[in-house]
Structure 1
Amino acid sequence: MTGVLSRYPEPGEDPTHSAREDRGLRTLATALGSSRNSLNALRLVFAAAVIVSHAWVLGGYGPEPALYGIKLGGASVMGFFAISGYLITLSAQRSRTVRDFVLARLTRIYPALFISALVVGFIAAPIGGMITRGHYSLEGSLLFVGFAVTLLIGVIGAPLIGTTLLGNPDSGNWNGPLWTLTWEVLCYVMVALVVFSLRHARGGGRYQRIATVFLFIVATGGTAAKILAGGFENDPREFALPLAATFLAGSILAQYRDHVPVGPVPALLAAGATWASVASQVANALAPLPLAYLVLQLGAFRLVARVGSRYDISYGVYIYGWPAQQLLAAAHVPGFVPPLAYAAMALAVVWPLAFLSCVCVEQPAQRWRRAWSQRGSGTARAAEAHQLAGLGHGDLAQSESNSGALDKQAQRSAG
């Protein structure tokens, strides 16, 4: 799972005002286009829910409760991917260049991921080995860090760090949720290819929407085919297709954000469609689009808009939750408390770690990225001013004419 958290652009950067808003109808563009939304709060809820879901398997309590076969952790990760699909699409559309987009994504994911991998490999694992009296492997720690930062964990799994989890119900994995980051980054690449390859084509906006819908149909069809062929095996990588479908569902809603209504009635309809999908025999194939719509509808409500507005700790909760639970399991805590109490203790441990990750790693990385982008923008503006300064009146008029033509072309492409 993120995976799912993954890191995403800050919600609330697009103050788009659509014609529907003028008629008194709120849309996703207007409801999520200001800082007064609850997407950060939802991400925090999803991250906490993943920890609750993992309590059963990591604490050795037996099978996790499920609703129509859907577990809390899986549903939460799909919620993460829905939000990510929406926001990453907006990020790609707003980025001036591919470099700007890649830099924004790298600084969201990698600094905190790298530090968490170091913490697990060189602090948590040795402590776990001392508690369990297992063998600590420096080579295993180095491999773990390498697999984490190269995102290989999502493809070939996490390497063992000796026998530092000896006796734990799950004795082989120090950070299970990291596998989702691999597939989330691949979704980033997929959306970026769609947006940037079609950006300057005539009617590029329309072709972007068509391409996104096509990819969604392919992912959904692949998921349905997998279900009809016998279902998903007990392997996280098997879940990549429905996650991609959910991400693309969020991307579709971003592409049509000026036309998608928001309000109590649409939210109830989305909830009903999601419930019907979950109750079906092909939930992973039918649920992505209504679930993504429901999640974004909930994010549009402003009741908890202040949660995470200054300190978004959801990513830290996500990437430190499993290691914290493994250490508590190594100390035999699950043997004395029920699953929900074990999850609550893990949340109490991970909260300060997530806050430190936010304040000391994630926010400084974002400040550096913004400063770098501003320097790049300043250099480009200076070069443009220097070029214009060398033009004669006739050349300057021609330049303005060309600029106006480019603006009109961009407006046509946006449609």
Structure 2
Amino acid sequence: MGSITVSNLSKAYKQYPSRWSRLAEWLSPFNKPRHQLKWVLRDINFTIHPGEAVGIIGINGAGKSTLLKMITGTTQPTTGSVTMTGRVAAMLELGMGFHPEFTGRQNVFMAGQLLGYSVADIHRFMPDIEAFAEIGDYLDQPVRVYSSGMQMRLAFSVATAQRPDILIIDEALSVGDAYFQHKSFARIREFGLQGTTLLIVSHDKAAIQSICNRAILINAGSVIKEGTPEAIMDYYNAMLAERDHEMVRLNITDDGKVQTVSGSGEAMVSDIALLNSSGAKVEVVDVGQAVCLQITVAVHKELPELVLGYMIKDRLGQPVFGINTHHLCQTLSNVSAGESICFKFAFAANLGEGSYSIAVALHTSDTHIGKNYEWRDLALVFNVINMSRKRFVGVAWLSPELEVFR
């Protein structure tokens, strides 16, 4: 079982005003420094316990890749330390350690030895590596003729040929085709169930929420928030839409969940309810039941445009269905301050059994990234039970019609 402890980890790079300043500092090391320090990470602290799966989230340039390089030892920290127990396998950069002029098979032997495998081990693993990578005759061709997806297939197959105690993966999997991504994440989940400690950097919300049980948000070189993947991804989405004069706040709901609310506040949701066919509020609905999502919006400032959207999420926070009035061709224009507007979305709750939440967004254009009046996660929570349908599994009821021919 592997664990990772990161203590007061920081990384700075020297910045010189010119190349001559660098030379002068080298020639006169005892004079005053001629550089400034550019800190890319400051005072990072966290612990990943054996068997835990943790996702690292942050915008480009936040310091995620630098952090992983220090954890794996390919970059040395300026201050702080990293302590790891167990055998580590890492995929940080596409084709890291591959030589373009050598064949894929030759690179497997070189990369495998860098991971600590013996030559005998690699010979034993080779059939499984070939089968999992599925690159056929290209295995005996130079790596320089590989596509980025083929390099990723081979690199992942080598890194996971034997279940490691710790598996660290950067964004490399994002270059693969959909088929191999599914196959790779299935192997990652399997390793997690067997006790492998996972550390994953990804912008793929579904991947983070389906694999990880904790997430860490990094911004501007610092850890700004830790928590459940759903709460951290909600906060991250709100942060992406943050602009001048906008706010991001966290509320604790009655059931202890963290609700993220962001936006300028120029328009806000004043009421939200799920109604049955009789117009009564409900919190529990039957599979396929006709319902109406009623959302009342209070407008606090004159708006040139108003779009309302909602997203239904499952219990892990993964999107099930989302739509907005822009895509329904019913955008409101020239909305006056003081208006109260009621939106009603009628639909059949063709959902599987379980708990669901609804996020609501008020914005312009087709997404909240442009002008965000309000984004509210966990605006409403409801449960679906199966009282009238045949038994089925999954998050969607598709009402199949069966014909059998013999």
Q: Quick check: which one's strand share is greater?
A: 2
Which of 1 and 2 has higher RCO (CA within 8 Å, sep 6+)? 1
Larger radius of gyration: 2
Q: What is the TM-score when the length of structure 2 is the normalising length?
A: 0.22
Q: Which of the pair is proportionally richer in helix?
A: 1
